[in-house]
Amino acid sequence: MMSIKEAMEQGTGQVSIRGWVHRERKSNQFAFIIVRDSTNIIQCIVEKDKVPQRLWEDAIQRATIEASVIVHGTIRPEKRAPSEYEIDITDLEIIGESHEFPITKDQSIEFLADMRHLWLRSRKMTAILKIRSTVFGAIHDYFRENGFYEYHSPLFQSVQCEGGSTLFKVDYFGQKDVFLAQTWQLYAEPAIFALEKIYTIAPSFRAEKSKTSRHLTEYWHAEMEAAWATFDDIQNYGEGLLKCIVGRVLEKNQDELRILKRDIKKLESAVKKSFVRMTYDEVLNILKDKCKIEIEWGKDLRTIEEDELSKMFDTPIIVTNYPKAVKAFYMKEDSKNPTVVHGCDFIAPECYGEIIGGSERESDITQIEKRLREQGEDPNQYLFYLDTRKYGSVPHGGFGLGVERVIAWVCGLDNIKDAIPFPRTMLRKTP
């Protein structure tokens, strides 16, 4: 047995492959069966007069869409076939029958979402899932090659970090104040005193009530935290990571990018140069000058504004020094301008929005306590966290990257939902 890819590499002679019927077309004399496995597709032909009666009947009656089959035959190059090779079948085994496969042509997005468990077999989803695997591998490799340890935080958490409005409360044996993780951060910072440089890829949960093409309620979050890191270091790690991810996909997934009809040139130019870096104030100026968009100082950037900004450049844009009021309590004040903080958002090209959010962390305990109170939080709830500033506090920082946001951008998807096998949103929790 061999994969379709291996059979095509062999190119001529006897082959045996196995997979699923991707498409079929039958006439009085011929059956054309396109077989799919995880590596490729290949057209297989049965000619009525040249095979035993039983084989012809199986080909006609039982080799239906998504039936699993083993094909034995002779392979040869054939320019007109979908993958430019063809197999003349000498024997056909039907392993698992499949009758009336529900997904036929021209189905609505909602129907395909209901049939997600079967739609995963489509060429589009298969291509995305392969790229997704490359992206996860690249994240692990990047951090490990840069001296980071993989570290894990709890997903049941008792403090909130990114704002109460998107917290998922859980019934934890009837006790109050238990939430699903929105981020690993508060539980990661204590570990930098042991490991210094750490990262994770883990699910984060956010009760997003908005129906955007960028928000899931469960997404995979690649996060890093590093002791002694400066604000510049954080941005450099983010840029390095994105370049590593995109570079790896360009190297390994040309076929998949082609199946997805991705404009590969745009992806290449996004990572060839240094990323654009500008402060929030500079963003306000450039949006005013070039797009006639006026943003009141102190307001967060909205999706439409981030999109306008992304249209001006072909690389990601790192926006720094946001007004304190729009960012989380743990971000460090700029020493030269206490109205802004050392937070940075990475805005993806081509209107894919924010893909990384990061910051230098406030290392001073009195500052943190003050910011918590200003944001209506009780510092007594954060005692374990405040200990990180009490015993050997160090300058440090980190970021979080939304893996599905990056996959959506790299694959050129219309919606983040296709970047994950079983998307979860306010309106979708099945299958």
Strands 317-323, 149-150: parallel, antiparallel or unpaired by DSSP? unpaired
In the bound state with ligand ATP, the residue whose beta carbon lies nearer, of 215 and 262, is: 215
Contacts to ligand ATP from residues 140-169, by CB under 6 A: 162
Q: Does 225 bind ligand ATP (CB under 6 A)?
A: no
Scanning residues 237 to 266, which ones bind ligand ATP (CB under 6 A)?
A: none
Smallest separation, CB 320 to ligand ATP (Å): 14
| Binding residue count for ligand ATP, defined by CB under 6 A | 18
Instruction: Rule CB under 6 A: say whether 308 interacts with ligand ATP.
Output: no
Binding mask 365-404 for ligand ATP (x = CB under 6 A): -----------------------------------xxx-x
405 binds ligand ATP (CB under 6 A): yes
Q: Which is nearer to ligand ATP, 37 or 404 (CB)?
A: 404
355 sits near ligand ATP (criterion: CB under 6 A)? yes
Nearer to ligand ATP, 34 or 355 (CB): 355
CA 182 to chain centre: 16
**Distance of closest approach, residue 219 Cβ to ligand ATP, in angstroms:** 4
Beta carbon of residue 204, minimum distance to ligand ATP (angstroms, whole number)? 7
Kindly tell me which of 349 and 400 has the beta carbon lying closer to ligand ATP: 400
Computed over its alpha carbons, how large is the radius of gyration of the chain?
A: 26
Which residue(s) pair with 399 in the sheet?
Answer: 224, 358
For the bound state, the minimum distance from the C-beta of residue 144 to ligand ATP, rounded and expressed in Å, comes to 21
Residue 428: exposed, middle, or buried by beta-carbon count in 10 A (0-12, 13-18, 19+)? middle
Question: Which stretch in 130-138, 188-196, 225-233, 351-359 sits in contact with ligand ATP by CB under 6 A?
Answer: 351-359
- Options 22, 130, 206, 332; binder of ligand ATP; rule CB under 6 A: 206
Q: Is 417 in the site for ligand ATP (CB under 6 A)?
A: no
Smallest distance, ligand ATP to C-beta of residue 310, A? 13
| Terminal CA-CA length for the chain | 33
Residues found near ligand ATP in the complex (CB under 6 A):
162, 206, 208, 214-216, 219, 221, 353-357, 400-402, 404-405
